[in-house]
Structure 1
Amino acid sequence: MNDQNLEPGKYLHALAYRCTPALVGDATVHLRRLDTETAKLWGTFTNQCRKRFGKEEAQAPYSIATTVLQVITGGYVHFEPYGPAPFLVSRQPIDSNLLSKAFALTHGLALGQPVETIDLRQPPELARRIARTPEREFALKEHLAGADGEQPEAPNWLYKTVGWGLAERLAAVPFQLSNGREITLRPDTTGGLVALDDPWENEGGGRYAVCRTAVRLKTLPNVQHPALLLDARVSRISSSLIFSSTALAVQPGEGRPVLEVKLNGRGGMKTIPRQTLEALGRLEMDYSILQSIAKRSQQEQKLRERARAFKERLQFPREHPGQIWPIPAKNYQHPIGTGVGMHHLRLLRAHADAAFGDDAQRLSMRQSTMTLPRRPTDPEKVSAQEYKRRKEERELTGSKEPLLSRGSLFPSAESLCASVDEAGFKKLRIACLWYRDETRQRMLQTFCHAFGLSPAGLDTQEGVELDLYQGRITAAFHYVPDFLRPGRGRDRAEALGAVGASLRSRDGVLVGAWCETEIPHADDFPGVDARDLDDLDAKPQTKAVMARLDVPSQYLKGRGKEGVIEPNGEDHAAQMALLDLYRSLGVIDERISNALQSKSSFPVDRLAHVGVHVRQQNRRYGEKGEPKIVVTATALVPPQSSQGAWSLLGWSSAAPVWRPYRSAQNAFHTHPYPEPSAETTSYRQKWDGAADMVERALGDLADELDGVPYTVTVDAQSARRMWDGLQNVRLGEHLGQAGTDGKSSRYQLPGARLGQDAPLAVIRLNTEDEEVPQPVSVTHLGKKEGAEPVEKDTSTLLFEVATDFGTPVWLLCNVPRAYDGSGAGRLGSKRTRWEAEKSVQSEDRSKRRKGEMPQNFYAMTATEILPIGGPSDEAREALSAMTARLCHQTLFWSDRSRYPVPLHAARQMDLDHPQYRREVADAEPGSGDEGEEAETTV
């Protein structure tokens, strides 16, 4: 992007480039496209594997063949046996005879045949057909030219292979740090980069992490060329191989990429797949690196067995990983933090510019004309003179008061009452259910902050209402330990006892329950398997009881990892819990109505705004049956008069009726997640059925709204399985084209078939880091001639991406609170982890310093906003700004959300469901970061 050719304004820089023919140059790959008959034979092979293993979801283990081929050919091989166009692609040509042998061994070993009995001279028909499939050499640039006015539709194999050559170009140039140090990047077999030669190590020594750089090819809406997206992350290295999911392995020989190997086996027994070793041994190839992985696994398993036999603590050696770098399956506690930081990402952009040179074309992203709503917690606005005066006065007096005051986090009591009135009630009562006095005090302290009450002399009596605001908002405290404590073997409804009767909303009183909870810990339940701890969790059990009473509920954790949580200072957890209780009650306060006000002539504040959340609930350990599809929706409805309050409706696939949000959520939580229909036998039918439910729901909502136009907001990642029109390649297609090939969705967009009751526009959000450009900085070009550009590290603004055709797309930049909040330190803003400062121990408190390596380094994120439809460009811009404003001003805390209010509220209905289980990240076994019994949690 040449700044001299740009108009004045603010421009966003991101790790995104147009992937043009010039960028990939003369890079080629060798491709075999499997024909229909070969694909059918693979399907037969898969069914044989499923019968053998007795698992419906089992797939034929093609990783045997791909790992064999990677080791033999140098590393770059990808096999895609499923989907509409199955293929095998590699960087180097593969000998057909070798291919036949590799798949013959894969076929025989997967079906249980001893390796020495597999006749390589008489391979099965599947192996013969794959080997006979013609191999053609393709130049990548032939598929990247793009057509004017059309979304790119490159073949799947291109997306899997383009990183191979580009990563090598990036690795050819040393990664330059600001202090002059050069970091070596190595290509890996995923098409990315890894800095194995310069790992990060903790201060105590013996624990490692490495920098991995992703090189991905994605499409962006209405951009002619696919986009090359770069990003960097911290990959923690495990002390143990047997508890890891994958391993990075340095292959022998020069110029070979680092091999990423998938490990298999149960926890504590992970190793290289035995069939892969047997296949390579039968082919008499050098597979020493894989043998090293197997040998290390055997050694660690012996250590584990010894520790169990002698009842000793399991501890693995602390040493440099050498050739094998295990990556843990979970994000365990680790002495090296996550994230590479903003400075690292800016250096990565400079590195890509140096490696790609003039071949790289950046995307232009200019600030949109949007003003963010002023939030009550934003600092007050004062003139520069007043700010200077206050600063001088504070220096003279030594005061530690903040220079700029902030308003309350909580909505005003008046707006709460207005929302309660809109719901048809006269009074709000909050029932506080507790079993630790510390939690009771925290709740009371939070009420004092929320309603401006003095804590002096303020106390609670069992079941007696405490007036919070003019008799219209009250609280009542109930001590119910048997109802709330974790455990099993009790009737929760019976334990609630007489308190249950006082919780019902009646006689003009709206009631919500604020409950204490804790995550059950293995130490409190000796002898209970870690996987059974979920059954002891009181939260889902008590939430189900509350839902049957039609009582909205929210929970406050009374004990954490460090023990009982004491009332102390700014209790953010308690404050957020109270705000989330308001959300469960369906309260829409003045903060949201203020955020919906706009200077645009398009009336976003007179539209209803619907959020549709979709999630597939996969089977958990011990569960059987098909995955379940969960659908929830909300509608933010404008008031009938300018003085009225906005209201919130809810709907779910378990209770498919629109009703006030609090009742819709309770009805949803009363039912288990819906089971898949026995009539839906295919993937396509399953998702078409979900889209059909939403279509009927939107039709019902249109009747409820009685002529009020509405928008629908969905998340691209989950919803595009239901509506093909959300996919970049299908943007702008006519409604009649949907579902005509038997593979596409029957529905192009949500509500598109409802005629005059269809939504005014559909707003597609994408928050997936792998698909949205990573922002790194902003340049401000002033209007004055000759003015120097001003560089800014971060931004919270909305930027319009310059597209080649069709409607624009916007990126909303987000700065994590942990990066930009009070006292955050902005770790990673000026240094990379290679330059992290070490801790300083000193008797002088002012000289003490925490080490930076254990802490998290944060970076900006971006939310992609794409309005589809709408009457005009102005309307689409207004809808994009409205979506950004409803992300900026949330219901549930003081900062931003990745989702706007309607979609967040719909999503939260699901996350609060009793069947949605809470999870805790445990320490890594043998790492030294876990407790004495951590090994039992694996």
Structure 2
Amino acid sequence: MISTLAFLFPHTALGKITLYPLSREFGEAWSRLPTYGDAKNGKQRRPPYAGLASALSAASGQPVVLMPHSYEPVDDDLAHPAVAVTTQPFDQWTLTTAVSAWERCVRKGDNVNTLAPLLAEAEVERPALSSYVRGSEDGTPHAPGWFYRVAAWNFAARLARNTLPLPGGSRRRHIRWRMDTQGSLISWDDVTVRSTKSPRRTGYALHKLDFRVVTQPGEPHFALHVLPTFSRLATHWASTRTAFVEHASNKDTLLRMPIGHTKNGDGQWVPYARNYAAEVLEACGMEFATWPTNEDLAALRGQMRTLVPAPTTHVLGKGVGTRFNKILADHIKETIKRPTITQVTFDPTPTALTRPTKGSITREELDHALTATGHDTVRIIAFYNDGTTRRRMADALAPYTDTPHQPLDCSDYTDHRVSGRLLVRFHRLRAIDRPDQVDWESELEFLDQFDDEALNGAWVETIWNPKPTKREREAGQHRHDHKRDLRRALYERNMVSQFLARQPEPEPDDEPEPVTEAIVGEEAETEADTPKDYKAVNALRDLLFRLGCVDDRLRHVTNLSDEPILVGIHLRQQRISNRRPGAADRTQMVEVLTALHTSDDPAVPWHLTSYDHNRHDWLPQAAAEAAFGRGTIGRNGHARHEEGALLARQHIESALKVLPCDRPLIILVDTEACRTIWPGLQNVRLGNGPLPGDDLRSPTRPVAVVAINTSYGEVPTPVENTASPRKNPKRPPKPKDLLYRRTTSTGTTSWYIAQASRTYEGYGQEGSIGGLHTRFTLPQDDWALQRKDWHSFTATQISVPHPGTWDPEQLAGVAAQLCHQSLAWDARTRHPVPLHIAAAMDRAHPEYRGPSIEPLAAAAGDEGEIQPTS
């Protein structure tokens, strides 16, 4: 059995809240507020309720939320009726002063004061949260949108009353939690510190507990998920977005404050409190914390601490480790006893997850696997400029030749036959090293000579990190990262690509890299004392699967008959801007559909296709990815809600209809991305609403839908495998390679796969140090291990909203096996193969989360005007 960091609690445990109903007059007054930007030259926007809530939190020192009072999702955040909810009633003077000061700031000094009198007139209510719950007897509990945040506050407040005891050495350490105005618990007084001598740096981090109240499939009670994080602190203000401040009037509460940046009179960037929090505090007569300097942040001085703004190099790693999670779970069970809460657990099923095939496609199976591409000949063009990279590529290809233990001996610019179906051609491309942009259309003109019927793929050397080296910084140089431009130019020639990072020459004063930092995911195979080049091997494997090369490893781990087609539907919403990078004017939907065609005939390999929106047809994998990469990434008008959701649903349904109509379908979807498009995926109406493939089901054609949820905030975090004997009294036992399930009191079953990461399992003490110690109790002799990322166990949730004619547990087992036995990697993937490949296509697009390189007003058929993305 797997225990988790999620807990079911009866409705009587939800507690009470303070609620201010907002009248229609308040909504009308709000609609008359002008647009505003809370910084000099800031972007003008419609005032959100969250702006006033943030200001009220600053003044009151307690969590506040203003939201529509609706049981259904609403697109308009300012919809009526609405409520203001907090923990304790506001002081009347503080309430009116804070609201009037905030409105005055929004109106740029105009003292109209329309909101404060209306909010002060609201009749304060102290209802029990349980009174807002509906549908629990049917296993579909739901409540207004604000309810979930407020229920998490109440739980956090109860937990904060007791310190967290951490066993370590001869005595226990007790961690005192302080709650912030968003309902998180912060170890404010217990900071982890690590310093290095070369380079001379000091880093700080706090433990933070976030809480999320969610539903589980068929579960009558709400589940509270506890999400521990190790939050690193910034030592300078640059790009920071969030700061914590010790509140002047409420010492037990930390003000979580959104941070913006603006230029002062000297032209220097300085931070400011967004939503006019500083001005509101000043109006209420509260002393606002003095803005610390960069030197103060670096020394951890003052009342304010700010989080690092984005993933970056830091002297402290991420993650709290599995031992901390175990201690925390036990502490919650001991602390919250009345009413009784129940820890969410998973029970093992007889289905074992196996991975009989490891490593690359074998030489004996290569040509059979290449048949799945639909071409008699496949050509890999290896672009390089550095001689060492050429040798690495040749060494990775050598195992497919008749002399696998000898280096691949071939000249440049000519085809060399590696196997019956595979050709390789090496081409030196000096433009790879140009520091500025390159005209790739001109550089790649030679590719037009290939007029045969071979399928071409590019293996390209690249600079892994385009940031300048120390020498380049000193010389004022900076290299351009060519990957986006070059990948688009290759797509224009119907070629998929995979990049191999050049091994950089070490800087003279660089610290040597630890030997243990090898690529994970492969079996340790060495020839004499020469280590295997896993980066090159894995890059070649990735290129082969992008070309559509599929061996029989997936056939061996699935028990499927009647040759079903397994379809993966990947959706993602991407921001786009008409004006400048970083400005999100609107969004568009990215839709990628991939199909894995199975076969009962061992002589016929399984093969992959993906949907081409322009041709309205399913193309072989390589051709489909090239077609996808040539166009703009998203579809205008498609969205997650209302009319946009209907358009997306209709478009995808029409794509599914093009698949062979005589084949059963198993449709795999990402729950979090797709549930607003198809409401039948939502826990509150699982299976009772629109689902993908609805128009295709018939008495003679089964269509199943399997939903995969990998969200950290929604899938319970595994703590330990309680059925395994504990080899070390400290380390929680890891999950087994089994399919787990959980059946609720209403009879609804969901399935889970739980795992420890390859890093946790593969690097001895460095990988699993978080299983033996917490970051608070790590012995001083091992303190250098604080720089590592401490991994915890993770889980994937599988639900079956519509099983078709299959047994639901069989479908869950197939989905789990297609995660466990991946196509081009020896570790488990987060999603089953079709979904995984669809997401990989999205990430490879030149516009993925980046600027568009299409003309602003280019024609796009039924897509409308093409706009740059951001």
- Determine the C-alpha separation between the residues in 2 that align with 1:894 and 1:864: 21
Share of identical aligned residues, percent? 25
Q: Is the 8 A contact 2:562 2:664 kept in 1?
A: no
Q: 1:472 aligns to what?
A: 421
Residue 862 of structure 1 corresponds to which residue in structure 2?
Answer: 795
Structure 1 pair 591–35 and aligned structure 2 pair: CA distance change class (3 A) = farther
- Post-superposition offset of 1:642: 3.8
Name the residue aligned to 1:215.
Answer: 211
**Is contact 2:461-2:502 (8 Å) kept?**
yes
2:866 is aligned to none
**Residue 771 (str. 1) matches residue 709 (str. 2):** no
Q: Tell me by how many angstroms 1:697 deviates.
A: 0.5
Q: Which aligned pairs between 1:307-456 and structure 2 lie closer than 5 A?
A: 318-357=298-337, 359-377=340-358, 409-449=359-399, 453-454=403-404, 456=406
The 2-side partners of 1:628 and 1:689 are apart by 12
1:262 aligned partner: 258
* Pairing partner for 2:680 from 715, 720, 725: 725
CA contact (8 A) 2:6 2:717 kept: yes
Q: Identify if the C-alpha distance between structure 1 residues 199 and 369 changes in structure 2 by more than 3 Å, giving closer, same or farther.
A: same
Partners of 2:455 and 2:800 in 1: CA distance: 37
**Which residue in 1 is equivalent to 2:642?**
684
Query: CA shift at 1:428, angstroms?
Result: 2.6
Q: Which residue of 102, 109, 118 maps to 2:111?
A: 118
Aligned to 1:88: 84
Specify the alignment match of 2:266 in structure 1.
Answer: none
Moved more, 340-349 or 603-612: 603-612
In the alignment, residue 835 of structure 2 is paired with which amino acid?
L
Where 2:418 maps in the other structure, the secondary structure is strand
In 1, Cα distance between equivalents of 2:603 and 2:547: 21
Q: Which runs of 5+ in 2 are unaligned?
A: 69-76, 264-268, 519-528, 726-730, 852-870
Q: 1:44 to 1:909 in 2, by over 3 A?
A: farther
- The one-letter code matched in structure 1 to 2:776 is W
Which of 164, 177, 201 is matched with 2:193 structurally? 201
- TM-aligned CA deviation for residue 731 of structure 1: 1.7
For residues 207 and 781 of structure 1, the distance between their equivalents in structure 2, rounded to whole angstroms, comes to 37
Q: How is 1:48-63 mapped onto 2 (pairs within 5 angstroms)?
A: 55=43, 58-60=45-47, 62=49
Match of 2:182 in 1: 190
What is aligned with 1:162? 151
Change (3 A) 1:618 1:604: farther
Counterpart of 1:77 in structure 2 is 64
1:341–1:859 Cα contact (<8 Å) kept: yes
Find the aligned partners of 1:605 and 1:83 in 2 and give their Cα distance.
Answer: 51
Distance 2:355 2:387 in 1: 37
Match of 2:483 in 1: 539
Q: Which residue of 2 aligns with 1:837?
A: 779
Change (3 A) 1:476 1:770: same
Distance in 1 (CA, whole Å) between partners of 2:137 and 2:64 is: 32
1:225-304 aligned within 5 A: 225-252=221-248, 256-266=252-262, 268-273=269-274, 275-283=276-284, 285-286=285-286, 288=287, 290-292=288-290, 295-296=291-292, 299-300=293-294
Deviations 1:356-381 (A, max 9, x none): 1262212342012212133333xxxx
What corresponds to 2:410 in structure 1?
460
Q: TM-score, normalised by structure 1?
A: 0.79
Alpha-carbon distance in structure 1 between the residues aligned to 2:434 and 2:678: 42
Q: 1:390 is matched with which residue?
A: none
Residue 455 and residue 17 in structure 1: after superposition, are their counterparts in 2 closer, same or farther (change >3 A)?
same
Q: Distance in 2 between matches of 1:51 and 1:191?
A: 27
Counterpart in the other structure of 1:902: 834
Contact persistence 2:548–2:621 (CA under 8 A): yes
CA 434–834 in structure 1, closer or farther in 2 if over 3 Å, else same: same
Aligned twin of 1:4: none
Contact 1:430 1:476 in 2 (8 A): yes
Classify 1:854/1:604 alpha carbon distance in 2 versus 1 (closer, same or farther; 3 Å): farther
What residue in structure 1 maps to residue 625 of structure 2?
Answer: 665
Which of these residues, 632, 647, 671, is aligned with residue 716 of structure 1? 671
2:555 paired with 1:593: yes
Pair 1:45 & 2:45 matched:
no
SS at match of 1:15: strand
- Could you tell me which of 576, 581, 587 is aligned with 1:622? 581
TM-fit CA distance, 1:215: 2.0
Distance 1:817 1:438 in 2: 29
Displacement, 1:242? Answer: 5.0
Instruction: Show the counterpart of 1:34.
Output: 22
Q: 1:605 to 1:485 in 2, by over 3 A?
A: farther
Aligned-pair CA distance for 1:36: 4.8
Amino acid at match of 2:485: Q
Could you say which structure has the higher strand fraction?
Answer: 2
- Offset from partner CA, 1:395-414 (integer Å, 9 cap, x none): xxxxxxxxxxxxxx101234
Give how far 1:647 is off.
Answer: 0.9
Report runs of 4+ in structure 1 exceeding 6 Å deviation: 48-54, 524-530, 563-568
Relative distance call for 1:477 and 1:362 in structure 2 (3 A) is: same
Between the aligned partners of 1:35 and 1:415, the Cα distance in structure 2 is: 71
Offset of residue 592 of structure 1:
1.5
Instruction: Give me the whole-angstrom Cα distance separating, in 2, the residues matched to 1:653 and 1:100.
Output: 55
Q: Following TM superposition, by how much is the alpha carbon of 1:432 offset from its aligned partner in structure 2, in angstroms?
A: 0.8
Counterpart check, 1:177 vs 2:169:
no
| CA contact 2:705–2:802 (8 Å) conserved in 1 | yes
Letter in 2 for 1:714: V
Q: Given the alignment of the two structures, is residue 20 of structure 1 paired with residue 30 of structure 2, yes or no?
A: no
Asked if residue 612 in structure 1 is aligned to residue 569 in structure 2, the reply is yes
User: SS of the counterpart of 1:271?
Assistant: strand
5+ residue gaps, structure 1, are 1-10, 301-314, 378-408, 736-747, 783-789, 840-848, 920-938
- Tell me, in whole angstroms, the C-alpha distance in 1 between the residues paired with 2:335 and 2:402: 59
Q: Residues 47, 730 of structure 1: CA spacing in aligned structure 2 closer, same or farther, 3 A cutoff?
A: farther
Give the deviation of 1:667 after TM superposition: 0.7
Q: What is the number of equivalent residue pairs in this alignment?
A: 800
Shift of 1:33: 3.2
How far off is 1:459 after superposition? Answer: 2.7
Quick one: structure 1 residues 231 and 458, their matched pair in 2 at CA, closer, same or farther if it must change by over 3 Å? same
Counterpart contact for 1:20–1:145, Cα < 8 Å: no
* 2:867 alignment partner in structure 1: none
The CA distance in 1 between the partners of 2:245 and 2:38, in whole Å, is 30
Deviation at 1:559, TM superposition (A): 4.8
- Taking a change above 3 Å as real, the CA distance of residues 450 and 250 of structure 1, as seen in their structure-2 partners, is farther
Is 1:498 aligned to residue 450 of structure 2?
no
8 Å CA contact 1:363–1:802 kept in 2: the answer is no
Q: Distance in 2 between matches of 1:130 and 1:579?
A: 62
Question: Compared with structure 1, are the counterparts of its residues 452 and 44 closer, same or farther at alpha carbon in structure 2 (3 Å cutoff)?
Answer: farther
- d(CA) in 2 for partners of 1:37 and 1:366? 53
- Structure 2 counterpart SS, 1:106: helix
Select the residue among 557, 577, 600 that pairs with 2:539. 577
SS at match of 2:746: coil
Residues 382 and 424, structure 2, Cα contact 8 Å, conserved in 1: yes
